[in-house]
Structure 1
Amino acid sequence: MAETILTFFSLAPFYLLGAFPTGRLVGKLYGIDVTREGSGNIGATNVARVIGKKAGITTLSIDLAKGFLCCFLGAWLASDESYGAWSGLAGVFGHCFSIPPLKGGKGVATTSGVMLWLSPLSLLLALFVFAGVYSMKRVVSLASVAAALFLPLPSLLNQSNSNIPITLVAACAALIVVFRHKENLKRFSEGREEVFQSKKES
Structure 2
Amino acid sequence: MNLPLVLALLVAAYLLGSIPTALWVGRRFFGLDIREHGSGNAGATNTFRVLGKKPGSVVMAIDVLKGWAATMMASVMLSQGAIRPDQLLYFQLACGVLAVVGHIYPIFAQFRGGKGVATVLGMMLAIAPATVGGCILVFLLMLVLFRYVSLASMSAGVAFALLQLLPPFRPQNPLLLYFGFILAALLIYTHRANIGRLRAGNESRVPLFGRK
TM-score range, shorter chain: 0.7 to 0.9
Q: 1:70 to 1:129 in 2, by over 3 A?
A: same
1:153 corresponding residue in structure 2: 162
Partner AA of 1:20 in structure 2? I
2:66 corresponding residue in structure 1: 66
CA distance in 1, matches of 2:60, 2:152: 16
Name which of structure 1's ranges 166-175 and 66-75 shifts more when overlaid on structure 2: 166-175
2:95 corresponding residue in structure 1: 87
Q: Is the 8 A contact 1:89 1:173 kept in 2?
A: no
1:193 corresponding residue in structure 2: 203
CA distance in 1, matches of 2:46, 2:174: 34
Instruction: Give the unaligned 5+ runs of structure 2.
Output: 1-5, 80-84
Pick one of 114, 117, 127 that aligns with 1:118. 127
Normalising by the residue count of structure 1, what TM-score does the alignment of the two structures yield? 0.83
Q: 1:155 to 1:86 in 2, by over 3 A?
A: farther
Query: How far does the alpha carbon of each residue in 1:85-132 deviate from its partner, in whole angstroms, 9 at most, with x for none?
Result: 321122112212334723121111111111111111221111122223
Instruction: Give the unaligned 5+ runs of structure 1.
Output: 1-6
Q: 1:60 to 1:160 in 2, by over 3 A?
A: closer
Q: Is the 8 A contact 1:15 1:93 kept in 2?
A: yes
Name which of structure 1's ranges 45-54 and 15-24 shifts more when overlaid on structure 2: 45-54
Q: Is the 8 A contact 2:23 2:34 kept in 1?
A: yes
CA RMSD of aligned residues (A): 2.6
Normalising by the residue count of structure 2, what TM-score does the alignment of the two structures yield? 0.79
1:22 corresponding residue in structure 2: 21
Q: Is the 8 A contact 1:85 1:165 kept in 2?
A: no
How many residues align? The count is 195
Q: Is the 8 A contact 1:121 1:154 kept in 2?
A: no
Identity of matched residues, %: 33
Q: 1:164 to 1:193 in 2, by over 3 A?
A: same
1:137 corresponding residue in structure 2: 146
Query: How far does the alpha carbon of each residue in 1:45-96 deviate from its partner, in whole angstroms, 9 at most, with x for none?
Result: 2223322322212111110000000111122224442112321122112212
